[in-house]
Structure 1
């Protein structure tokens, strides 16, 4: 699954190395890069708010502040009404940029003087306080400034240069506060902190300006690739006219403990709507009637302790939706953990896997679909620790269990033990924050695996389908969307050869290979 450079994600260290390589090999100075960065921000400013709009620029002590000083001068020359609030510049480039601003007749005020009145009387506030590389807590002076900028309601439009100030550029974690931007202009290539952690809450729309030196990254291995619609188009071609159900696999869903039949039903329905040939549900005897009544296409089996016969007929097993953690559930987990097949672990399947310390058989393939809480239990740590560095947590799960895995949440991450680069999904909706949504996702993953997609392709495609289904399902409102609302859009999205004009519009399919869907 190749990706253009603007869909690749790197570490901050890799971006820094690219800058130095540009200086050495392309003979581009850091001062020239600062000028190019400021010009890119000016173009965005002009597209959003034409002159003579009122612009406030907040400048920090380093080179990010230098970008702000240069932008202030360029904006003033372009006819904007510009005010600068700044701390004393410390880096050489920032000092030169500040001097050029003052030499052009500009004045500046202390950053501490920025207050809600300045914010409300401006059309645009430019955040150039901290750039990428921040790995310490924001001190009180800067935290106060960020808090003033973030206070709601606000009428101004906020543009962050490089990354919202206070956001860690490798984890997407606020330190502990960060600017909430409407738009972020980032440079050279995307970093992890723009697409993971809390990035979606702070970055707004992300625009990438490569500054003419992106070629310096082409020799480096990206950490992540951004998932787009082209993955689905390539993974789910139109079916052969002679196809039959045996071509599309048999999925066995193991779950539906006492009082929890709904989770197994949702997972099984997602398997069906995403195209698997057959679905069996192995459930607790008390749930058999409810599950059978919910979907006539299910083959429903009440099991007590043994699922060996069903396992022998399965192409893929999903274990966990509504499973519970009873002795009955533990026996089923032990049996599945010993099976030499493809298993999708979810929900209480993951919790029991962690509690029982079970290991993967050499000939089996395990796919794990945890949310941060389940990921914490798999790693013996807390949910908060996982959220501090989501990508690190996911790679640890893959290594510890020799499994393929995804980590759910805003900016769902995917990692495969067979692929050097992971993936991130930037699509989705808060409507997915509802009970049963994860059960649906495990069913989507299993359906694609049953249709014989390679595991990395199945995971990446499933995450995108699930995320965009959430967008479509919430068109009438995010609040009140429920997991079963995802089933119809999942069916539509799983058939890219039949996408309607409306769906293509939501997906923005014409731009898939032209620009990042971020």
Structure 2
């Protein structure tokens, strides 16, 4: 997904509905003028991407999203496009007025049920103005059928699709399909960015995301507080200033990695290398004794310790700045005993993988005075919250907030549009970067190493996960430039090294 630059504030759709007319009134703009401006922005995108003359099919729903489509029909026809509208009866007052204006021009109108995507050609355009952000619950069967054939034929015939405000069928708060959503090439969203357009399944439906603020965004921002902000490159660069010339290895922190049960030494190697490449001064590894020689030979800079008992682990905790627990840890009695020991220690702690699964079994471990960071994927998040992964994804905002509050931890909920919450604030952060190349075993271990390295280097607690997530995502993009399939987590090491030296 690509998105409009320069805008980082994210809102729920209800916030837009509650305040867009108030904001418009503040600057002397009427509701009908807002609709006109929305259609004009869509026309500008249409003319840039698919200039006239060509055939444009506009699918109009009953509400104001459909009204935007009716106005666009009139504007597009005036610019030389051959326009046909397929619609359900308009219900909102503005949509009825826009539909009447189109019909008075003699514009071509057919019922939505007559739309047949099999008749589309490669040069054609479909404008989706069916539902926008107004969808609630499960879609009606008629809309499902229309969207299903549209998506199927788009893949075969490669015609171009523009969605108005939100791909129809997509929940603009959660990013979930209900249960199917239009697959757009471009989505033009109105007034402000909605969090669900940059999260979860939205990444396969929104296409390029354009913001049309309709000239009221500044006024709107005075009425509503964003629920989230996008992580910006500038924020990452500011968090990684040049190093002091007189610094030494002790200046850049000591990371201890705990994990690597028998047969899972690779997770330790990936996390440790990532910690080193992101600038940690020292990296120690506490692992199963059977892995000690293998891990030590993989990277000579590691200080590797085979630990069998909590006492042996406790001896390593005195001179470290952070412990990263979980990669390759497993859930054996050995893992439980060591995990309990490190949770009881007064050392900053980042928990991933099986560390999270054990925390779900022993939630009282989180009652600690030292800082805590959690990095679950939806399955792990579900276990921590006693939910299924699908329930987590159905409301990712609520899930990440619940994790941060329940465990009093800075929390990263992984996935497309990863979300980050802190225990002391309601506002979230969202990562708009990333690639499917990261969907491979070991990728999370690299992220753990990155975050642990930043903690050791004394980044502000609230900045660790946003910076680590952005670095990991962009390193994945750069590593995958020759192809997403087959990109390995170990390929991220050199991109990471470059990114942490902006």
User: TM class, shorter-chain normalised?
Assistant: over 0.9
- Distance in 1 (alpha carbons) for counterparts of 2:364 and 2:403: 13
2:203 to 200, 203, 207: 200
- Distance in 2 (alpha carbons) for counterparts of 1:370 and 1:382: 13
- Distance in 1 (alpha carbons) for counterparts of 2:411 and 2:149: 40
Show the 5 A alignment for 1:369-408.
Answer: 369-408=375-414
Q: Contact (CA 8 Å) 2:20, 2:220: kept in 1 or not?
A: no
Match of 1:182?
Answer: 185
Tell me how far 1:196 sits from its aligned partner: 1.5
Tell me how far 1:122 sits from its aligned partner: 5.2
- Distance in 1 (alpha carbons) for counterparts of 2:370 and 2:63: 51
Tell me how far 1:31 sits from its aligned partner: 1.0
TM-score by length of 2: 0.96
- Distance in 2 (alpha carbons) for counterparts of 1:50 and 1:108: 22
Match of 2:473?
Answer: 467
Deviations 1:193-224 (A, max 9, x none): 11122111110010001001112332322111
Q: Contact (CA 8 Å) 1:183, 1:207: kept in 2 or not?
A: yes
Match of 1:235?
Answer: 239
Tell me how far 1:233 sits from its aligned partner: 1.2
1:492 to 489, 495, 498: 498
Match of 1:513?
Answer: none
- Distance in 1 (alpha carbons) for counterparts of 2:17 and 2:430: 22
Q: Contact (CA 8 Å) 2:401, 2:421: kept in 1 or not?
A: yes
Match of 2:449?
Answer: 443
Tell me how far 1:359 sits from its aligned partner: 3.4
Tell me how far 1:121 sits from its aligned partner: 6.2
- Distance in 1 (alpha carbons) for counterparts of 2:136 and 2:6: 26
Q: Contact (CA 8 Å) 2:165, 2:190: kept in 1 or not?
A: yes
Match of 2:101?
Answer: 100
Deviations 1:26-74 (A, max 9, x none): 3322111100100000000000011112111110111100000000100
Deviations 1:456-481 (A, max 9, x none): 21111110100001101111111011
- Distance in 1 (alpha carbons) for counterparts of 2:390 and 2:293: 39
Match of 1:515?
Answer: none
Match of 2:260?
Answer: 256
Deviations 1:398-455 (A, max 9, x none): 1110110101111111111234321111111100000000000011001111111012
1:299 to 276, 280, 303: 303
Tell me how far 1:5 sits from its aligned partner: 7.4
2:280 to 273, 276, 281: 276
Secondary structure of the structure 1 residue equivalent to 2:56: strand
- Distance in 1 (alpha carbons) for counterparts of 2:117 and 2:135: 25
Secondary structure of the structure 2 residue equivalent to 1:310: coil
Secondary structure of the structure 2 residue equivalent to 1:120: coil
Match of 1:143?
Answer: 144
Match of 2:168?
Answer: 165
Deviations 1:231-263 (A, max 9, x none): 121011111211111111000000010100000
Q: Contact (CA 8 Å) 1:37, 1:209: kept in 2 or not?
A: yes
Secondary structure of the structure 2 residue equivalent to 1:132: helix
Tell me how far 1:362 sits from its aligned partner: 4.2
Secondary structure of the structure 2 residue equivalent to 1:469: helix
- Distance in 1 (alpha carbons) for counterparts of 2:392 and 2:219: 32
- Distance in 1 (alpha carbons) for counterparts of 2:276 and 2:332: 28
- Distance in 1 (alpha carbons) for counterparts of 2:107 and 2:136: 32
- Which 4+ stretches in 1 moved above 3 angstroms? none
Tell me how far 1:10 sits from its aligned partner: 0.7
Q: Contact (CA 8 Å) 1:62, 1:91: kept in 2 or not?
A: yes
**Unaligned runs of at least 5 residues, structure 1:** 497-518
Show the 5 A alignment for 1:26-41.
Answer: 26-41=27-42
- Distance in 2 (alpha carbons) for counterparts of 1:23 and 1:99: 24
Tell me how far 1:180 sits from its aligned partner: 0.5
Alpha carbon RMSD of aligned pairs, Å?
1.3
Q: Does structure 1 residue 420 correspond to structure 2 residue 426?
A: yes
Match of 1:55?
Answer: 56
**Unaligned runs of at least 5 residues, structure 2:** none
Deviations 1:365-392 (A, max 9, x none): 1100001110011001111111111111
Show the 5 A alignment for 1:296-375.
Answer: 296-306=300-310, 307-375=313-381
Q: Contact (CA 8 Å) 1:373, 1:382: kept in 2 or not?
A: yes
- Distance in 2 (alpha carbons) for counterparts of 1:68 and 1:122: 20
- Distance in 1 (alpha carbons) for counterparts of 2:444 and 2:494: 16
Q: Contact (CA 8 Å) 2:126, 2:161: kept in 1 or not?
A: yes
Q: Contact (CA 8 Å) 2:56, 2:127: kept in 1 or not?
A: yes
Q: Check 1:81–1:121 CA distance in 2 against 1; reply closer, same or farther (3 A cut).
A: farther
Match of 1:217?
Answer: 220
Q: Contact (CA 8 Å) 2:122, 2:157: kept in 1 or not?
A: no
- Distance in 1 (alpha carbons) for counterparts of 2:131 and 2:75: 20
Q: Contact (CA 8 Å) 1:196, 1:391: kept in 2 or not?
A: no
Match of 2:158?
Answer: 155
Match of 2:458?
Answer: 452
Q: Contact (CA 8 Å) 1:339, 1:361: kept in 2 or not?
A: no
Deviations 1:464-507 (A, max 9, x none): 100001101111111011110111111111110xxxxxxxxxxx
